[in-house]
Each structure stands twice: as structure tokens, then as C-alpha cells.
Amino acid sequence: MIPKETVDKIIDTARVEEVVGDFIALKRRGVNLLGLCPFHGEKSPSFTVSPAKGIYKCFGCGKGGAPVNFIMDHEQLSYPDALRWLAKKYSIEIREEELTPEKIAENNDRESILQTLAFAQKLFSETLHNSDEGKIIGLSYFEERGFSKAIIDKFQLGYSPEKNSFFEEELTKSGFKPEFAERAGLITKRDNGTGYYGRFAGRVMFPVHNIAGRVIAFGGRTLKKEKNIAKYVNSPQTEVYNKSEVLYGLYFAKKEIIAKDNCLLVEGYADVISMFEAGFENVVASSGTSLTVEQIKLIRRFTKNVTILYDGDAAGIKASFRGINLILEEGLNVRVLLFPDGEDPDSYSRKVSNSELQTFIDANTQDFISFKTNLLIAETKGDPVKRAGLIKDIVESIALIPDPVIRSVYVQECSRIMTIEEQILHSEVNKLRRKNREKNADKSDVPEGEYSVIKSGELSTEDNTHQQQNNLAELLDDISFQERDVIRILVLFGNHDIEAEVDLEGEKRMHTFKVSQVIEHELNEDHYKFRNTVFQTIFDEVLKENASDNFLDIKYFVNHSNAEIRNFAIDVFETPYKLHDWERKNIFINTEVQQIKLTVNGAIYSLRLKLIEKMKKEISEELKHEISDDKMIDLINQIMGLDAGKRHFAFTGLGRVVIR
Ligand SMILES: [Zn+2]
């Protein structure tokens, strides 16, 4: 259990823009920040972060919440684990019981696997630095490669000893269950059923971190020269590791990728680390797999620009053309850098100085058309058929680019390089796009990225009024609208002060209450039970806390561990009634705050009126004739203790009441 004060401290400290900013690039848009939603694939940003309100909301998929909810959703963590994650980020100490093996067993499986992987990483690092075998074999290898102590520590490199049972023994000593180490891909059961053997025995270890910095897998490199031993062994797919969704180094590179607005893509672990050593920190690797769409989407969270760094091996480069097309298709700009023959980023960065490397990169980075053309043009010399093939190949790539402006720029470029009329290329590109669209038509309903940013939650005033009028009849017949308004006010303004008259043994006095107390008083007087169970749950919780003078505020509900309550709170916080942007929403809320009495009374009155209307309907049906409105008003005035014969209120149809 995390003590309540610590929970409060974590929630108060965590800044939504900082937490979300760890996972996606955010651009300022007015008072808010905007980015690409990490929860659903999108190409134009509809993910809004409001630093002032401390919440995020995606207008595409509807996900929203406070920092803790973001971490729960993104990192697949429970509520307490998400709090622990935030505590770690903000260096807030949590005083709770030490994690004993028994305690670990209680945690969910995913967490146990991650803790086992973290244990393995520490063990391998300690072995690298503190054992003779580690120092002689592992450390000297890394030093030979030019990795500094700082870089070895940063990437948490390690060494797994030759002795096969080493890992299993250490595991048991520390009270970890082999079951989770097996599920983490660290050990495998022996065929004869006697214990396990370590997957990585006798290898230098490269931990693979997820975007939040936790170790989720390993790559192990052997230093033996024997041909029958695989140079690299990687973790298998596990419950916490899907290699097609992970980029090696991204956790360390993401800040610099945002700063440089460019992501360098290399092939292997050593390439990433060497580039870091050379001072290039915006670099990641798709190690162990050819580039996947998921990996490109990860990059897209931070930048739209990718530079692929290739070693000078022509066969490998041709095989990677598919990767270029995938990147283009995801709407990213791709540039390519080819290292001299026989060199890769790792070897070349060690050969030249850092500034020479920078000069080399600047001078030799090409756009993909020049790159492809330069690479293939030699083969097409004097062969018109091959030349046509190359053009077709490039046109196919261009046709994948979603943005028409960028497409057109590339058409010009291709026209120039291949000396072919622009118009011909344009019509080819368009033909291909039509074909692709038809092909995709049955795959997805609406082409992604062609939505406008304005979604349901952001409808303009006019649209909304219109829609509300259409729904009016429906609303009028349904009490849930009035219930919603009362709970909305309770959640938004429950802890605000309100002046109310109290009758103390005949003496009337003004007294300051909390809004939630007034609502509690009014509804309890009616013995009101909410039809909607979520609303009743919120109400019950408010009553319980009111009893101990703890008045819940909007922040409490926005952070609620119950998703239904949380989503409701975000919804009302985000979209009061008919608003277009956050600033105006604030104005709206301010008006309600200034007239808090009217707001509260109006909502309760509307709810009562609704109840009475229902009663009236029932009574009328029973009596077989209708009660007149005047009679009705009298009835209400009586109930509300108001002067008879006067029409104090008019029902506006929006659950809002205006005093006349
Ligand atoms: Zn979304």
C-alpha cells in the first residue's frame, strides 16, 4: 500500500505535459499541447494535453485522463504501479514494505516478469564490472570497441558468465521464481527435465529497454570465433517483449530526437551505442527485425523525419527498400545516408572524429529518390526497359506518400533526375493512388489521416445547438439528463464555497457551505436515488467523504481509479456544453462559478421539475385528464416554498433554469 499522503504528493507533482512528453512529441497549440495519439494510429494530431487542467484527451479514440491514467494505459500498469512509476520519475520516495519474494508473487505476472528482467540486468552488469571473467572477457571487449564507462553504464551493458547454471542459481538465491525467468526468455527448461539452462551463457549483454526505460529483453553477443555459434542471441517474443514494436535505444534517444526533429535509424546495438559515443544521441535501431510499421509509428510520435544509415553493402540496401516505402506510407520524410564500402556506423564513427562524422553526414545524406536513382542508375545504363523499371519503382514509392504537397515535390525531383515529363509522372502517381485506394477500400472504412481534427467533442456552437434541439424531445423525456447535470456540478464544483440561508431555531442566517454539502442536503431531503448507477456511486462517495469534511475536487475525480467515473469527470471537465476550445470552456466554467448558487439551484430544481413532470404525467394518466401548467407551477412553488401564482423559473430545455 502506498500511503495516502504519498499518493497525493505524486498526483500533485506529476505534470501531464512532462509525463505524456516522455512518450510523444507535443507541440504548443494555444494554451494546450497537441500530439499524435499513442493509443490509436493517427497521422494528424488529435491528442490534446492541457497543462492548466492537468489532463489529456484524445478526440480520435476518446482516451483521456490525468498523468496516472496515461501511465496505466500506456505501460499496462495497475493503478498503484502507475503511481510507483510516477514516483520514480519525480524521485518521490514511497515508504512501503520492501518487495519480498512473497510480495512479488502477489504482483501480477507481467510485473513479475519485468522485475525478473530488471534483476537479470543488474546481475549481468555487476558480473561485468566485479567478476574476473566479466572484466577479462566482457569489459575488455567493450573497451576495445571504444565504449566509455559512462556509455556502458548508460546502456546498462553486462556480461553473462560461461557457467550455464549461473543465472538459475543466482535467481533462486534471490528468491525469484524460475517460472518468470522462463517466461522472460532468460532460461529454458532442459530436455531431461532437470532444471534450466541460461539462454545467454558466455555472452556480453545488451539490455533492450521499452520506451519507459524498463528492461524488456536482451541481446547477447558471443565473443567466440567458432562458426557454429550464433553471433547474436536475442530474447524470444514474450508477454512483455514484441520485437516488432520495439526500437533499440529509443528510451535514451527520444529527447534528442525531439530536439533535432530527426531520427537516425541504424541496424544493430553496437551501431546505436557507437553513435551515442560519437555524440549523436538521436539514434535508434530496429535490431533483430526488418523495420515494421509499429516501429515507424513509434518514431512518428517524436518526429516526422527519419534518416536511415546504411553500411555500404548493396545487397542489404536493396533488401531495405521495402522499409523506405513503409516509412513513406506512414507519412514520414525519409533520407538516406550510405557509408563508404566496408564501413558501418559503428566502424566509421570510431575511425573519424565526431566533427568529421557530422560533416560526412551533412554532405552525404540524400533524399530517397536520389538515393535509389544513384544506386540503380548504373544497372540501367543503355537499357530502356530497366530504366522504365526504375522509374516505375520510384513512382510507386512516391504514390505511397499521403501528403499531396510532398508528393508533388518528389514528382518534380524525379522528373529532373530521370529527365521525364512531370505530367506523365503525376498521372502515373495518381493512377497508382487510385489503385491503392481501391485495394484498401475493403480493409478500412475511412482513410486515416483524412479526418479533420474537429471531432464530436469539439462541435461548434451552431452545430451543437442544432443537435441539442433535435435531441430535445428525447432529453425531455429522460431524467438522466438532469441527473447528469447535478453530478456534473458535484464533480466540477463540489468543493466550491456557496452561501446559503439557514434557519436556526427561527433565526435566519447566512452561512458558507460547500456545494457538495448543499447538494447532499437537498437530495437527501428528497430521498433521491439516482437511476444511473455511476452517478449514484459518485454521490455515495461524496457523501462518505463529506462526512469527514473531506471535500472532493475535480482533480480527485479526474484521477479516479474507476474508469467510468474518471471518464465522466474528464468529459464534463473537457466539454461543458457548447464550446469550441479550452479557453472558452474556461470562461463558461468561470461564469458558472460566479453564479454558483444559480447553477446549483438550477440543476436541483430541474431535477425536481423533471420528477414532478413525471408524476404529473402519471397522475394525469390516472385521472384521464391533464393538469394545467398553472396548477403545475403552483404545485412546484408549494414544494419549493415560493410565492404562489408567480412563475419564477422557465425551463430552457437544457436542464438549465433562468430566473425571470
Ligand atoms: Zn487516440
Residue 42 CA to ligand 1 center (angstroms) comes to 8
Residues of the chain with pLDDT under 50: 444-476, 576-585, 646-660
Residue 74 CA to ligand 1 center (angstroms) comes to 11
Residue 314 CA to ligand 1 center (angstroms) comes to 40
pLDDT at 96 (0 to 100): 66
Residue 139 DSSP code:
I
Residue 244 CA to ligand 1 center (angstroms) comes to 21
Going across the sheet that includes 215-222, the strands are: 158-160, 203-209, 215-222, 232-234
Are the C-beta atoms of 480 and 531 separated by less than 8 Å? Answer: yes
pLDDT at 456 (0 to 100): 31
Residue 329 CA to ligand 1 center (angstroms) comes to 20
Residues 91-105 as b or e (16 or more Cβ within 10 Å = b)? ebebeeeeeeeeebe
What single string gives the DSSP state of each residue in 333-364?
Answer: EEEEEEPPTT--HHHHHHHS-HHHHHHHHHHH
Residue 39 CA to ligand 1 center (angstroms) comes to 5
Residue 82 CA to ligand 1 center (angstroms) comes to 20
Residue 262 CA to ligand 1 center (angstroms) comes to 23
Give the DSSP H or E segment for 160: strand 158-160
Rounded Cα gap, residues 463 and 461, in angstroms = 6
Tally helices (H) and strands (E) across the chain: 31, 20
Residue 105 CA to ligand 1 center (angstroms) comes to 34
Residue 604 CA to ligand 1 center (angstroms) comes to 35
Residue 141 CA to ligand 1 center (angstroms) comes to 45
Rounded Cα gap, residues 328 and 309, in angstroms = 16
Are the C-beta atoms of 33 and 258 separated by less than 8 Å? Answer: no
Q: Is 199 exposed, middle or buried (0-12, 13-18, 19+ CB in 10 A)?
A: buried
Among residues 428, 552, 419, which one has the least CA distance to residue 489? 552
From its phi and psi, is residue 409 left (phi > 0), alpha (psi between -120 and 50) or beta? alpha
Residue 38 CA to ligand 1 center (angstroms) comes to 7
650 forms beta bridges with: 658
Residue 66 CA to ligand 1 center (angstroms) comes to 15
Residue 14 CA to ligand 1 center (angstroms) comes to 21
Residue 567 CA to ligand 1 center (angstroms) comes to 14
Residue 157 CA to ligand 1 center (angstroms) comes to 35
Strands 263-266, 305-310: pairing is parallel
Rounded Cα gap, residues 207 and 205, in angstroms = 6
Query: Rounded to a whole number, what is the distance in angstroms from the first to the last CA of the chain?
Result: 54
Residue 202 CA to ligand 1 center (angstroms) comes to 44
Residue 1 CA to ligand 1 center (angstroms) comes to 31
Rounded Cα gap, residues 146 and 133, in angstroms = 20
What does pTM read for this prediction? 0.64
Residue 138 CA to ligand 1 center (angstroms) comes to 44
pLDDT in tens, 40-59: 878 888 899 998 888 998 88
Residue 234 CA to ligand 1 center (angstroms) comes to 32
Rounded Cα gap, residues 455 and 457, in angstroms = 6
Residue 36 CA to ligand 1 center (angstroms) comes to 8
Residue 44 CA to ligand 1 center (angstroms) comes to 11
Grid cell of 595 as nine digits: 453564479
Residue 401 CA to ligand 1 center (angstroms) comes to 22
Residue 132 CA to ligand 1 center (angstroms) comes to 51
376 forms beta bridges with: none
Dihedral in degrees, nearest 10, Cα atoms 357, 363, 368, 373: -120
Residue with cell 493512377: 431
Residue 115 CA to ligand 1 center (angstroms) comes to 29
Residue 404 CA to ligand 1 center (angstroms) comes to 24
Centre a 10 Å sphere on the Cβ of residue 659 and count the other Cβ atoms it contains.
9
Residue 547 CA to ligand 1 center (angstroms) comes to 38
Residue 370 CA to ligand 1 center (angstroms) comes to 36
Residue 458 CA to ligand 1 center (angstroms) comes to 15
Residue 237 CA to ligand 1 center (angstroms) comes to 26
Residue 570 CA to ligand 1 center (angstroms) comes to 15
Residue 632 CA to ligand 1 center (angstroms) comes to 48
SS3 of residue 646 by DSSP:
coil
Residue with cell 479516479: 560
Residue 448 CA to ligand 1 center (angstroms) comes to 12
Residue 61 CA to ligand 1 center (angstroms) comes to 4
Residue 593 CA to ligand 1 center (angstroms) comes to 31
